[in-house]
Chains A and B, each alone.
Chain A
Amino acid sequence: MPADIRTRAALAVWSVLAFAAIVSVPATSRAADLATDGTTALAPPPSDPHDIEGVWKPGRSAPPPGSGAARSGPPPAGTPVVAGSTLVCAPVERLGGAGGGMSNLWVVGPKEIVMISEEDQDVRKIYLQAHHPRNVIPQPNGNSIGHWEGDTLVVDSIAFSDANGKDKGQHVVERIQKQGDRLVDHATITTKGVTTQRTFNSDWRPDLQVWENVCEEGYSKFQIINGKLDDTNS
């Protein structure tokens, strides 16, 4: 067997074993796993399945050194500028929450649940009501309504805007459930008749606070020259 094939086979075996190891870890022990990465033991989330208030971090990455949240710097000089992208600090769709190792803060009110993405402070608002409003205005994160079915928060979202502010015809149904110290979001996304399924996992991180990440800070230092950021005059 050629060496590269043996390597690939070994990687495949290791991947299967690693996946099996991960899924076999009880939810209640994951916080302890995180604690071995340099933080103190984390208090578990509240036992009430409807109480999802607090900081949740997408993925299962190691915590940042020290306490508190990471802070993004400005984009590097020469970064191509794309209209409607995060480079110009426009709100973006945050299904699954923040990116770049950042966290999400959930605040649970009796009439509304909000998820604040640390990344650029983008916001998802879930109104706990039965119907979407008439003449709903397309927004980057759409219009979301939710209700509880037992331990599961069911969220129905429409009116997601595209870069031009037009409704891109996306419909998302999410079933969000707290499973131990993990928040699991099963999303069914339908756009123009095509349906995809995605699952977003986030870990309970009571040791973190969501930082005031300000996208526009980078643009107080840079000029835009020929569609690219330039710091020669900063």
Chain B
Amino acid sequence: MNSTDMPRAGLAFAFAGAISLAASAHAATPDISGPWIIAQPHEVLKTTDGRAPPLLPAAAATYAATKAAVSTPKDNDPDLRCLPPGVPRLMLQSFPFNIVQGKTMYAMMFEWNHLNRIIHLVADHSDTIGPLYLGQSIGHWEGNSLVVDTNSYNDTTWLDDSGLPHSDQLHTVEHMKLAGGGTELIDTITIDDPQTFAKPWQTVMVFRKDPGAIIKEDYCLGRLGRDNLVVK
């Protein structure tokens, strides 16, 4: 399916049907635990058919202004203040992350500023708090795919390093699936935001297993040398 034939209403049914919570099949679910890293870093997200995301005119203007400001000196980039990069941008960084598969939730433990993303294995978003930089994620297994539905995003992050905007109406649905004999994790993400995009669109992120990697406790301000600003 490409971005041109995805009705927005389809997302509402993404979680319809019998939900088989991983809590009841802890041992039987695919093992996606362990360290992963983006196989090919993306600076600019494209749709699965290689096109630019379908920005609405106002959002396109925002994007153009952001890109113009990014050229010099990038001080409008929230990442340079070490604020959480949001989803999917955090997963696109050249930093590894570790997945821990618990019984009632999964944890994606990112090296980038020691952030974490929790996927609650529950059926709905009724306990949502927020808005949050990384949104609030719920998940379930559909066959061999982990389906992750995330809402309650704030509107301060970028979708990618180029400054692709979104609003607080952002809603993402990811299908994560092992490939390559377990050496790859394919994450097909559907991005919907009626205030930013004319229609939902999809892109694909590929992560490769990074065996033996130890996820360090990254200190973003220190890594960027900005801790020196406060050391007198």
A, B in one complex:
yes
Binding site for B on A (CB under 8 A): 51, 53-54, 67-69, 81, 83, 87-91, 105, 107-114, 116, 121-123, 125, 133, 137, 139-141, 143, 209-212, 214, 216-217, 219-220, 224, 226-227
The 8 Å CB contact of A114, one of B81, B100, B104, is B100
Compute how far the CA of A185 lies from the CA of B195 in the bound complex, rounded to whole angstroms: 48
Compute how far the CA of A112 lies from the CA of B101 in the bound complex, rounded to whole angstroms: 9
Check if B5 is an interface residue, CB within 8 A of chain A: no
Contact check, A51 vs B103: say whether CB atoms are below 8 A apart. yes
- The minimal Cβ–Cβ distance linking B79 to chain A, given in whole angstroms, is 10
The 8 Å CB contact of A88, one of B81, B84, B216, B230, is B230
Contact check, A212 vs B114: say whether CB atoms are below 8 A apart. no
Compute how far the CA of A81 lies from the CA of B229 in the bound complex, rounded to whole angstroms: 10
- The minimal Cβ–Cβ distance linking A144 to chain B, given in whole angstroms, is 12
Check if B220 is an interface residue, CB within 8 A of chain A: yes
Per CB-CB distance, the 9 closest pairs between chain A and chain B, nearest first, are A227-B232, A109-B100, A107-B102, A83-B231, A107-B107, A81-B230, A216-B82, A91-B217, A212-B132
Known: A67-B129, A81-B231, A83-B227. 6 other contacts (CB 8 A): A53-B103, A81-B232, A105-B118, A122-B114, A209-B129, A227-B231
Interface residues of B in 70-89 (CB under 8 A from A): 81-84
- Chain B residues with CB under 8 Å of A123's CB are 109, 114, 116, 217
User: Which among B81, B84, B217, B219 has the greatest number of chain A C-beta atoms within 10 A?
Assistant: B217
- Chain A residues with CB under 8 Å of B231's CB are 81, 83, 88, 227
Contact check, A53 vs B102: say whether CB atoms are below 8 A apart. yes
The 8 Å CB contact of B98, one of A112, A121, A137, is A112
The 8 Å CB contact of B127, one of A107, A133, A209, A211, is A209
Binding site for A on B (CB under 8 A): 33-34, 81-84, 98, 100-107, 109, 113-116, 118, 127, 129, 132-134, 214-217, 219-222, 227, 229-232
Compute how far the CA of A219 lies from the CA of B114 in the bound complex, rounded to whole angstroms: 18
- The minimal Cβ–Cβ distance linking B131 to chain A, given in whole angstroms, is 9
Interface of A is mostly: loop
Residues A68 and B81 in contact in the complex (CB < 8 Å), given A110-B101, A121-B114, A123-B114:
no
- Chain A residues with CB under 8 Å of B101's CB are 109-110
- B105's nearest neighbour on chain A, judged by CB, is A107
Contact check, A224 vs B230: say whether CB atoms are below 8 A apart. yes
- A225's nearest neighbour on chain B, judged by CB, is B232
Compute how far the CA of A83 lies from the CA of B222 in the bound complex, rounded to whole angstroms: 10
30 contacts between A and B (CB under 8 A): A51-B103, A54-B104, A68-B129, A81-B231, A83-B231, A88-B222, A88-B230, A89-B82, A91-B219, A109-B101, A111-B33, A111-B34, A112-B33, A112-B100, A114-B100, A114-B116, A116-B116, A116-B118, A122-B114, A123-B217, A133-B214, A140-B217, A141-B217, A143-B214, A209-B129, A216-B81, A219-B81, A220-B83, A226-B232, A227-B232
Residues A121 and B33 in contact in the complex (CB < 8 Å), given A91-B217, A109-B101, A214-B83:
no
Contact check, B129 vs A211: say whether CB atoms are below 8 A apart. yes
Contact check, A139 vs B217: say whether CB atoms are below 8 A apart. yes
Contact check, B219 vs A90: say whether CB atoms are below 8 A apart. yes
- The minimal Cβ–Cβ distance linking A216 to chain B, given in whole angstroms, is 4
The 8 Å CB contact of B107, one of A114, A122, A133, A224, is A114
- The minimal Cβ–Cβ distance linking A176 to chain B, given in whole angstroms, is 16
- A106's nearest neighbour on chain B, judged by CB, is B102
- The minimal Cβ–Cβ distance linking A81 to chain B, given in whole angstroms, is 4
Compute how far the CA of A210 lies from the CA of B129 in the bound complex, rounded to whole angstroms: 10
- Chain B residues with CB under 8 Å of A137's CB are 214, 216
Contact check, B230 vs A87: say whether CB atoms are below 8 A apart. yes
Compute how far the CA of A112 lies from the CA of B19 in the bound complex, rounded to whole angstroms: 26
- Chain A residues with CB under 8 Å of B134's CB are 212
- The minimal Cβ–Cβ distance linking B111 to chain A, given in whole angstroms, is 10
- Chain A residues with CB under 8 Å of B33's CB are 109-112
Compute how far the CA of A119 lies from the CA of B183 in the bound complex, rounded to whole angstroms: 34
Contact check, B100 vs A107: say whether CB atoms are below 8 A apart. yes
- The minimal Cβ–Cβ distance linking A84 to chain B, given in whole angstroms, is 8
Compute how far the CA of A211 lies from the CA of B207 in the bound complex, rounded to whole angstroms: 27
- A208's nearest neighbour on chain B, judged by CB, is B129
The 8 Å CB contact of B83, one of A69, A133, A143, A216, is A216
- B99's nearest neighbour on chain A, judged by CB, is A109
